[in-house]
Amino acid sequence: MSKIVKMVAQRLALGLLTLFTVSLIIFLGVQLLPGDLAQAILGQSATPETVAAFRRELGLDLPAYVRYFDWLGGMLQGDFGHSLANKREISELIGQRLLNTLFLAGVAAAIAVPLALILGIMAALYRNTLFDRAINVATLTSISFPEFFVAYILIMLLAIKMRWLPGISNISGEIDLAERLYRVVLPALTLTLVVVAHMMRMTRAAIINLLASPYIEMAMLKGVPRWRIITHHALPNALSPIINVVVINLAYLVVGVVVVEVVFVYPGLGQLLVDSVSKRDMPVVQASALIFAATYILLNLTADLLSILSNPRLLHPR
């Protein structure tokens, strides 16, 4: 067990290094984009005079490395800083949006993960039957369409024609959990359609892969029922690849939903990042990017950890 603790510690330390590198790359990347915050905010109404005044006020006239180290210094003391554009605290700006993003990702995952696993197991169980093919065609079709297209189709059918669900996900204001869930059903459904295929196919493939192993043949010869072979003998050994693909999809649900946010007017982190990049609001870009990077790092670590824990050979290596 101490090995695992050591591994986690090592990975976390490496994670911090990764975050630092990410922040540097993001800073340089935004630096390379044409224009700066003053020009982006003032847009067509910019004059050389006002742009210069704006830059002076925000310290954008300082050299790039000075601004980076200023930001890094604040960051190390736990101060995310202020949005350059509207002087709001970043923690205040991001806090609620991060919760919104996690809420949507959570709801989508709660639908998608069990659905994908069940469908994957069933597809393996009834391999090469009509059911298997139908499931494959359906999920592959839904993943092949761009997200916004799936979203518009769902809005048209469920919101405009049937009137079952709201057309946009306005979750601001004082609403209870049930109402909140009702309002995120459509985006969560869209995301489900987008991620289910990947997890379902991986589950199916991992299980089918094992079904050719001698120990499964042995179980069959013993007369173990087919569903029991799959759930008791094959699935535990297929967990590692399944966990990995599930976790990748979870990370995607957190960081990659900007299109869905736009279509459903859902106030999550994605839209915040896009707005901040287009206005070159560096502290907000940095904070969002670090949250996304940390999400990937932590989820990857979790995946590896779970893979090791689910596999005795990795848990007790000789």
Partner 1 sequence: MTDKTDIRKPGAGFTRREALATGAAAGALAAGLSLAPGMARAASPKKGGRLRIGIGQGATTDSLDPATITDTYMQVVNYGLRNCLTEIDGNGKLIGELAESFEVSKDAATWTFHLRKDVTFHNGKTLDADDVIASLAHHRTEESKSAAKSLLKAVKEIKADGKNTVVIVLESGNADFPYIVSDYHMPILPAKDGKADALSGIGTGGYILDKFEPGVRTFMKRNPNYWKKNVAWFDEIEALAIIDPPARVAALSTGEVDVIDRVDRKIVDQLKRQQGVNVEEVTGNQHYTFPMRCDQDPFKDNNIRMALKHALDREEMVRTVLSGHGSVGNDHPIGPSQTFYNKDLPQRVYDADKAKFYLKQAGLSSLKVDLSVADAAFDGAVDAGVLYKEKAAKAGIDINVIREPNDGYWSNVWLVKGWCASYWGGRPTEDWMFTTTYAAGASWNESFWNNERFNQLLLAGRTELNQDKRREIYYEMQQICRDDSGAVIPMFANYIIASSNKVQHGKVAANWDLDGLKVCERWWFA
User: Per rule CB under 8 A, is residue 47 in the interface with partner 1?
Assistant: yes
What lies within 8 Å, CB to CB, of 286 at 6+ separation is: 23, 26, 27, 71, 75
User: Per rule CB under 8 A, is residue 38 in the interface with partner 1?
Assistant: yes
Nearest approach, Cβ of 145 to partner 1 (angstroms)?
15
Q: Which stretch binds partner 1 (CB under 8 A): 68-76, 139-147, 264-272, 301-309?
A: 264-272
User: Per rule CB under 8 A, is residue 232 in the interface with partner 1?
Assistant: no
- Is the CB of 91 or the CB of 136 nearer to partner 1? 91
- Is the CB of 38 or the CB of 208 nearer to partner 1? 38
Q: Which stretch binds partner 1 (CB under 8 A): 203-211, 258-266, 292-300, 307-315?
A: 258-266
Strand-pair partners of 89: 82
- Is the CB of 253 or the CB of 282 nearer to partner 1? 282
Nearest approach, Cβ of 280 to partner 1 (angstroms)?
9
User: Per rule CB under 8 A, is residue 272 in the interface with partner 1?
Assistant: yes
φ, ψ for residue 36 (rounded to 5)? -135, -175
Q: What is the CA radius of gyration of the chain?
A: 24
Binding site for partner 1 (CB under 8 A): 33-35, 38-51, 53-54, 56-57, 83, 85-88, 93, 96, 152, 155, 159-160, 163, 166-168, 170, 172-173, 262-265, 267, 271-272, 275-276, 278-279, 281, 284
